[in-house]
Structure formats: C-alpha cells, structure tokens
Amino acid sequence: MPMLSEFVIQVGLLLAVSVPLRVLLRHQTRAKLILDAVVFVALSGLFFSRGIEPYRPGAVGGIDAVSVAIAKAAWWISISLLLVTVVRKFLVFNRRPREGRLVRDLLSGVIYIGTALSIVAYVFNVPVGTLIATSGVFAIVLGLALQSTLNDVFSGIALNLNRPYAVGDWIVLDDNLQGRVIETNWRSTHLLNGTNDIVILPNSILAKARLTNYSSPDESHGIVVTVRFHPTERPEVIGETMKTALLGCTNIVRSPSPSVAITALEGDGVTIDLVSRVRDVGKVSDARNEIYDLVYRHARSANLVLSSSTQWTGPLPYWEQASRGHGAIDCLSSIPLFHSLREDERASLGAAMKQVAFPKGAVIARQGTSLTSLLLIQKGVVIVEREENGRHTELTRLSPGDFFGERGVLMGSLEAGEIRSLTPVTAYEIKKDALAPFLGQRPEIAEELGFVLAHRLEKEKHLLDQPGMENSTSITLSGKIRSLFGL
C-alpha cells in the first residue's frame, strides 16, 4: 500500500475514534481538553512524519489530493477545538458568570473565523486578502442594511461587559419607564413593569439612556415623604413628633436609621422631610402608606395641624375640639374599634378609663404574663418583642390609635412577647369589668376584636414560623369572646 494511502487511512481511523468520544465527553470539560490535545498531537505527528506541512498551501496531485485536503482541514479544526476548550476551561470571571460567557463566546467566534480563513488559504489555496477585499463591498452593504440591529448587538455587548444592571434588578429610565429586568440578550432587554406587563427595550436605547438601578449596590431603597404643618409648635417639637412616627413604622429598615429634616420654615407652615429606607423597591408603596398613616395619627395625638396651600374653612379637626373636653374620649375617638359607640356610650366608657404613663424603655408587660386591662395608646410608640432560645423577634410596633392587652382581657391568654415603650407613652386603661357591659350592648365590637386578634395571631405565626401555633380564625375567636363574656 502506498505511503500516502496509509497516511489517509491512519487519519481516518483517528477521526473515527475521536469524534464519537468527543460527543460522549461534551459535558466533561477536562476530559474533552485532554482528548483534543491528544488528537492535535497525533494529527501533527502523522503530518510531519510524512513531510507534509498543514500550515503551508499546496497539495499532492492525483486522487489523494482530496483526502490530504480533508486531513489538513481536520488538523486546523483540531487546533480550533483545542483552543476553544482551553478558553472555556480557564477563562473564568469570579462571581460574574454572564461576562465570562460573553467573553468566551466572542473569543470562540474569533477562533472559528480564523480557522475558516486558514482552511480557505492553506487547504483550498485561495488568497485570503483577495477574498476579504472582494467581500468588503458586500459587507458594507450588509452593514448599512443591518445598522439598527448591529447597533443593538454592539450596545448589548457593551452593556453586558459594563453590567449596569443584572437580571432581577429594578431599573428606572430618564422618562420614568421602570421595571424589573427579567431577561437580557444580544439585542434587547426585557422588563416586567408595575402593571405586570413586559416591556422590550432595544439595547441601543438603554445604552444611551440615563439609568437608575434601584437594586444596586444592594436591594434596599431610600424613600422621602414630605409633610407640612401649621407653625402652631416649635419646629423642634414637630420634628421630634415625626421621629416618633418613623419609630413606629414596621415597613422600613432600622439601619441606617431613619431621619427627619426640616427643609423650610415659613409664616404659614413648617415643611419636613421624613427619610428612610425599605428592604427592596417592592416595599415602597407599603412603607409610604404606613408613614402617611402614622404621621396623621401622631399629629393628632400631639395636636399638630397639617398645612395646605389653601386656608381650611371646614370644621375644626376633632382633636382641637376634643382638647376642650375629655382626653379619654379623644383617645376613644381615634380608635376605629369604638367608632360604633354612641356619644353617651363613649362618654360613659370614657369615665371608666384611667390614664397611665410609661417612661421610655419601661417594660409594660413581661412575655408570658396575662393582662387584665385593655390599653389604648394616646401618645408614643410601643414595641412587642418575643425572646426564645436567646433569639429576639420583633412582633409588632404600636402607635396612637392602636391598643394591646386584648389577648388577656378577652381570652385569658398569655402575651406572646415582652411589651415595652420605645418612647414616653401615654395610654388609657379599660378594665375587663368595665368593658364587659359594652360588649353586651355592642356585640359587633366582639366581632371586630375577633378580627383584630386573628390578624395578630396570623402575623405572629408567620414571623415566628411556628406551624404549631394556634391557627384561630376570627369567627372562632369572636365565638370564644362571646362565650367568655356570656354574650
């Protein structure tokens, strides 16, 4: 058998063995790298042992020319596969897998293009320079036709390398278009907006736009709530009241601490900014709603009057009217639970209420004790915190208009956590014996207490992650309350 035919057979056998092996090892990068290296070395040995230089143009004559050309092409392909495997194995971007994949894909593309040009030059003996020059006009025409698409593609490459955002980030553009990034590709970025619609943005637009990433450097997001009051009190007093309002907010983070800034003082008003942070942008609406509610409640408890751009000509705020009367009735009026009481019932219950005060940091009730009075908060902030196995869990914070002690008064149950005053607290106490007649006259109050207590128990169950806790519904609780009070 001629030497050249033997060479072709050896190359064919090598490829027949290596190609199926590579398919089997396609998911094992290290084994595939060793295989590619062995195939490249073996092919090179076969070529050089026959005096054939695969990186020089020209081929033998006769029928074996096609076989040698195929062998040369296989040698060049083996080089490209080895280089691509090396790139994919050793080019790693720590904690930036998307950028690593992008760079690996680009380098792999360059290697494959170089291999194709080498095969054209050294196997088919076609001058690469002439080929490139001939295809230049076509490339210009194609580039002009695909100008917009190429702009998006190269913008996508730049965005992926710079990484101003990642999948899962919430971004806002300068035209207030915003949403959470759910997909990025070479041409476009997909956002899921607040109305649960998908917005597809070309990368060229994103590359030119002024972009704010709400999820960077972390998921927390700052919010500012601006309120304005009539200057009926010193700005310092108003500011301290607003700090107390922020202290009672449960939807904001505690580090960094929320702050209050007085931004304007004019003859008709004091303007204040309440600055805080939430855990992520999805909590912004809940936090704003809670802050506005707490500002309203603490302003009422401190006799502060919200200012507006026009002069208020309606009836006086209820707290200004109540300040001329009984403070207990004022406190009752601030709690929705007692809104159904008639004026005479409210006056009778107010007469049975006793005002109590707690300094800052005072323990009002220990965890595991049972309160015998319902306490209505008039001023200040109360925290309920559970301690278990050395772990402290905040259950809730209570502000003016809230109450506590219903667990012991209505069901004889123990308090789930320690109740402590975060600020100086003023409250009104209603003894169980004084409350019972009103529950008999107003059974809807028992129903409402059932709903409130059920909601608090469900919240505690969620926070403590204790499936074994009592899973009472409001109907069951109101039934227990009715039975306890003989309703």
Alpha-carbon torsion 91, 95, 98, 99, what sign?
Answer: negative
Contact indicator for 127, 121 with CB cutoff of 8 Å: yes
Q: What is the pLDDT of residue 436?
A: 79
Which residues in the chain land under pLDDT 70? 1-5, 58-64, 91-103, 128-148, 150, 309-326, 465-487
Considering the domain architecture, whether residues 181 and 139 belong to the same structural domain is answered as: no
Tell me which of 113, 144, 175 is where a domain ends.
144
What does 214-281 look like in DSSP terms, one character per residue? TTSSSS-EEEEEEEEE-SSS-HHHHHHHHHHHHHT-SSS-SSSPPEEEEEEEETTEEEEEEEEEESSG
Considering the domain architecture, whether residues 171 and 296 belong to the same structural domain is answered as: no
- Total domains, the chain: 4
Query: 288-299, pLDDT tens digit by residue?
Result: 999 999 999 999
For residue 388, the surrounding DSSP H or E stretch is strand 382-388
Considering the domain architecture, whether residues 364 and 270 belong to the same structural domain is answered as: no
Considering the domain architecture, whether residues 348 and 477 belong to the same structural domain is answered as: yes
Query: 316-363, pLDDT tens digit by residue?
Result: 444 444 444 457 888 888 888 888 788 888 888 888 899 999 999 999
Q: How many helices (H) and strands (E) does the chain have?
A: 16, 16
Establish if 113 belongs to a structural domain: yes
Considering the domain architecture, whether residues 112 and 235 belong to the same structural domain is answered as: no
What does 68-93 look like in DSSP terms, one character per residue? HHHHHHHHHHHHHHHHHHHHHHH---
Q: What is the pLDDT of residue 320?
A: 47
Residue that has been written with the tokens 């092919």 in this structure: 43
Establish if 312 belongs to a structural domain: no
Establish if 153 belongs to a structural domain: no
Establish if 159 belongs to a structural domain: no
Helices 443-464/474-485 angle, 10° precision: 130
Considering the domain architecture, whether residues 84 and 7 belong to the same structural domain is answered as: yes
Helices 64-90/97-122 angle, 10° precision: 160
CATH assignment of the domain containing 183: 2.30.30.60
Q: What is the pLDDT of residue 483?
A: 57
Considering the domain architecture, whether residues 207 and 75 belong to the same structural domain is answered as: no
Q: Exposed, middle or buried, 313 (CB in 10 Å: 0-12/13-18/19+)?
A: exposed
User: Which range of residues forms the domain containing residue 175?
Assistant: 165-213
Return the closest-CA partner of residue 416 out of 358, 464, 450: 464
Considering the domain architecture, whether residues 171 and 76 belong to the same structural domain is answered as: no
Beta bridge partners of 272: 227, 262
Return the closest-CA partner of residue 75 out of 25, 2, 15: 15
